[in-house]
Amino acid sequence: MRLSFSFGAFQGEAMDKPVIKVAADGFPTGHETPEGVACDLARAFIRRDTNLFEDTCIKPFSSGQSCEEYTRFLQQTVESMRKQAERTEPSPGGPKAIGKVFASRHLSRGGAASYGYAVFDFQEVRFVDVGVVLHNGKRYLNRTLVIKDNTGKWYVHPLPSSSPLLAFGLNEEGASSRDFSEDYQVER
């Protein structure tokens, strides 16, 4: 008896991955993926681009003190970015380039996504680890909370401490190990 073996199943698996286009730097961009908005947040700080920052961040969605805190944070960050943009030399501790992007992950502790769905009509709550290279040559890993709103677009929540129930356990998550490119078919 002669057995035949086909690689078709393996090829089919690669084709089942969603197609993602990447920016010129080789990393995701846009509101279509959690990794895209996380990278755009990094790019906003790299370029000191307040418009990109504001477009990437989720609009204030709660009420009370947490909403006031978040709104104040957004305003202060925009003002700080404007001042940085006026400088001819970037801050040595500021981000220079994206170096590594990990695949988005769900929070391991239950409740955050359910809370976001029940209270704010969010479709998903995840996080993305983005590694950047700083102007001083050091590396920094930023853990970014990302939210898929009720329109199906992804946004970052740059101040998760203002929404503790939504970010429950975020900073206790283990290190990411899966590169974003393992979850997508990347088009350049």
Q: Report whether 180 contacts 160 (CB < 8 A).
A: no
* 88 — pLDDT class (breaks 50, 70, 90): confident
Q: How confident is the model at residue 128 (pLDDT cuts 50, 70, 90)?
A: very high
Q: Are strands 95-101 and 124-134 parallel, antiparallel or unpaired?
A: antiparallel
Break the chain into its structural domains and give their ranges.
8-187
Integer Cα distance of 32 and 52 in angstroms? 15
pLDDT at 47 over 80: yes
Q: What is the pTM of this model?
A: 0.89
Distances (CA, A) of 177 to 40, 55, 102: 21, 28, 7
- Closest to 179 measured CA to CA, from 134, 143, 130, 138: 130
pLDDT at 9 over 50: no
Check residue 117 and give its pLDDT: 92
The CATH number given to 8-187 is 3.10.450.50
Contact 149, 161 (CB under 8 A): no
**Mean pLDDT score across all residues of the chain:** 90
In angstroms, what CA-CA distances link 109 with 86, 144, 165, 166?
A: 42, 16, 11, 11
